[in-house]
A = this chain, B = another copy of it.
Amino acid sequence: MTAETRSYPVTPRNRVKRMHERGSYDRDAGHAILDAAMLCHVAYVIDGQPYATPTLFWRKGDTLYWHGSSASRMLRHLKTGTPACLTVAHLDGLVLARSGFNHSANYRSAMCFGTARLVEDPDEKIEAMRDVVDRFYPERSALLRPITPQEAKATTIIAMPIDEAAAKVRAKGVGDDEEDFALPIWAGIIPVTTVLGTAQTCHRLIDGVEKPETLSIFPAEGRLDTALLAGQRLYEGG
């Protein structure tokens, strides 16, 4: 693997300006942040107005996918192929310092830039409709009632090859000014994690149907990011 393929190019668009020491253009570092998430925010522009739309997304190689109904304002707009920015952020901790200025948060974020296009090829679209299930729930699409032509028609899938990306991470303790450490002020970190609860079986489930073993990547009290990373590894290996 060459240096070119291990890192995203750095341009004025993705160069980390603020707290640049927290930035990285490494492809694997970016993928790890993306793959630990299910929810992203896509920024797009209509008539000069920016929108930040929250949506589920998934990664396949170096392409990001998201979907929605054809009625979606965002997706109708994106059909023409449009610059977009897909961002993921994980909040990992609250950082309480001895000055207001040094209060902070621990986080992992990735911003990805590219041109979003509509997936129009019918085979590519069906594959993507299976992928969105199997990426999150290993091997699940094979267990489901098949996709109908009406559902395929009512589904819009958007693809965006990542042209540039930047990851930004803060993962450390309190960063007070040296002279402030002597002050009698409590300081510390309050960790934040996103966790899974106990699965709630649909009350209309027919008798004798067990939860598939493949869903064991989502254990009660487990971390969501860990489960999603495990799912992505199975998806990429599959």
Contacts and interface: CB of A to CB of B under 8 A. Distances in A.
A43 B50 contact: yes
Nearest to A188: B201
Nearest to A40: B52
A144 B85 contact: no
Contacts of A71: 17-18
B200 A186 contact: no
B83 A50 contact: yes
A136 to B, nearest CB: 7
Interface string A178-192: 001111111111111
A199 B189 contact: yes
B192 A68 contact: no
Given A54-B87, A151-B101, A209 B185 contact: yes
Interface in A26-48: 38-39, 41-45, 48
A111 B36 CA distance: 24
Contacts of A64: none
B136 A94 contact: yes
Interface in A86-142: 86-87, 89, 91, 93-94, 96, 98-101, 103, 105, 107, 109, 111, 113, 129-130, 132-133, 136-137, 140-141
Most buried by B among A93, A147, A204, A210: A204
Contact of A209 (B130, B173, B184, B218): B184
Contacts of A201: 186-188
B200 A53 contact: no
A192 to B, nearest CB: 6
A75 B59 CA distance: 30
A199 B205 contact: no
9 contacts: A13-B49, A18-B68, A43-B50, A101-B155, A185-B209, A188-B211, A189-B202, A190-B196, A192-B196
